[in-house]
Amino acid sequence: MPLTHPPLPKRCNPVCIGGTSIDTGLTVMSAMMKSCDRLRCLSCDFKCIRFDDAVWDDGLVSYLFFRNFMPDVAKLRKGIKFRKGHVCFCCQCSWCGIGDEAKALSSVAQFEKAKWVCGGH
């Protein structure tokens, strides 16, 4: 019997995020964007957390907010406001949101400094 190796994880290319109407999973081409549900941050080494039907409340969240509360979902929830269809994400050092659409992560303005990658599917 030949030695079999588990298949290598597939990574999104491009890495995309989307609102609640966008399927989650692996993106293999930009014409069929899915919202990556395996995001992780290379800067803080946390897996990104996602909140549905929500936007960050700019008056409440800050670098220190995420620094202190990540990855406590109950505490992080205190920084969101309800907004149907929107999705927001965070790691310990970055955060952002998207409306009811799909976009490549690289084109989401708030993400310019974030080092989020697909962790593999």
Residues of this chain that interact with Zn ion (CB under 5 A) are 12, 36, 38, 41, 43-44, 91, 93-94, 118
> Least Å distance between CB 121 and Zn ion?
5
To Zn ion, the closest distance from the beta carbon of 19 in angstroms equals 16
Distance between CA atoms of 101 and 121, rounded to whole angstroms?
22
Q: Which CB atom, from 5 or from 113, has the smaller least distance to Zn ion?
A: 113
Contact 101, 34 (CB under 8 A): no
CB of 43 to Zn ion, least distance (A): 4
Q: What is the largest CA-CA distance in the chain?
A: 61
Return the half-sphere exposure (C-beta side, CA atoms, 13 A cut-off) of residue 119. Answer: 10
Contact status, residue 20 vs residue 89, Cβ threshold 8 Å: no
Nearer to Zn ion by C-beta: 46 or 83?
46
Closer residue to Zn ion in complex, CB, 12/80: 12
Whether omega for the bond prior to residue 14 falls within 30 degrees of 0, making it cis, is yes
| Least spacing, CB of residue 21 vs Zn ion, in Å | 18
Cβ closest to Zn ion, residue 80 vs residue 91:
91
Cα–Cα distance measured from residue 87 to residue 56, given in angstroms and rounded to the nearest whole number: 9
